[in-house]
Structure 1
Amino acid sequence: MQTDEFLEAIQKGNLSKVNQLLETNPALANSKAKDGTSVIVLALYHGQRNIAEAITTEKTKLDIFEASTLGKLDRAKSLIDRNPSLASAYSPDGFALVALTAYLGQKETTEYLIGKGADVNAVARNTTGFTALTGAVANNHTEIAKLLVKRGAQVNYRYEGGFSPLMGASENGNVELVNFLLANGADPNARTGEGKSPMSFAKEKNHVEVVEALKRHGAL
């Protein structure tokens, strides 16, 4: 089926194939993955911003997930003005909208959604347990993570077997974010179900500066 071919091209980052298929069948821009995810959001999940933008040119109207994750704030505002509950919407694959914008680096949109009542600690309705903070940490969006904590995100939230935001920042070697989380109450000695700590993750990746930062805050 052409839809399957289109989805495969998106996931492989094949822009020329995507454009070719759209030229043949512009309606593919409205297609969705099997879990209901928009092809625009799917492209962003795979780090294919150029493909997401290419698909956007064939759509007359973006939905709230497409507009927000692309950072098309005017469109997102227009939709939320008409239906304020959209600020707290969940995607077809189970993520809070504010978690998606945080994960995909849309700081202005994330801040706007919080201002419109989105819960910074909303937990994914799928097996990941992701929140906006875990999403921002996962993709090293330091300024968004800081914004979320300042707006009440739980720094010691645990998900996926006891993993914490500090563990994520430590594993990524993001010393700025590690220091920020520690200064805002993150537990330096938290353990996963397998007994791993932020220090364990930092040492595994040889992040020397992170190891030193953790030691200064009493990590074992």
Structure 2
Amino acid sequence: MATVEEQAQLLEAIRKGDRGKVRELVDADAGLLQARATSGESAVLLAVYHGQDTIAMDLVQAGAATDLHESAALGLSERVRARLREEPAAIDSYS
């Protein structure tokens, strides 16, 4: 399980756009794919918010789960459709 320090390192690397460091940290501990900022954003959403779409996609390809809004922000239309099939009411949710 990822430590608080490791999570902080990952989130900082995402903010800085340090793709190599993000990969290094996730390769060492896949549990970091579930990391969240203190304000609640997932690592994927934090990457999107900071304009780091390549890092966000790296996280998804490494196995990070995405919710409806994260999937939409990344243009993952099949994930969006699948989520809406599973939970049609999600169309009225917001991020």
Which TM bucket (shorter chain)?
Answer: 0.7 to 0.9
Task: Please name the residue that 2:35 is paired with.
Answer: 31
1:58-77 aligned at under 5 Å gives the runs 58-59=62-63, 61-77=65-81
1:124-181 residue CA offsets vs partner (Å, 9 max, x unmatched):
xxxxxxxxxxxxxxxxxxxxxxxxxxxxxxxxxxxxxxxxxxxxxxxxxxxxxxxxxx
Percent identity of equivalent pairs:
32
Q: Which has a greater percent of helix?
A: 2
Task: Please name the residue that 2:48 is paired with.
Answer: 44
Which of structure 1's runs of 4+ aligned residues deviate more than 3 A? Answer: none
1:53 maps to 2:57: yes
- More RCO (CA 8 Å, sep 6+): 2
* Aligned partner of residue 25 in structure 2, secondary structure: helix
Q: Normalised by the size of structure 2, how large is the TM-score?
A: 0.87
1:1-220 aligned at under 5 Å gives the runs 1-59=5-63, 61-91=65-95
Unaligned 5+ segments in structure 2 are: none
Alignment RMSD, CA only? Answer: 1.3
Q: Normalised by the size of structure 1, how large is the TM-score?
A: 0.40
Provide the C-alpha distance between the structure 2 equivalents of 1:30 and 1:68, rounded to a whole number of angstroms.
19
Provide the C-alpha distance between the structure 1 equivalents of 2:9 and 2:64, rounded to a whole number of angstroms.
23
Aligned partners of 1:38 and 1:66 also within 8 Å: no
Aligned partners of 1:22 and 1:29 also within 8 Å: yes
Q: What amino acid maps onto 1:64 in structure 2?
A: L
Aligned partners of 2:44 and 2:66 also within 8 Å: no
Deviation at 1:60, TM superposition (A): 5.8
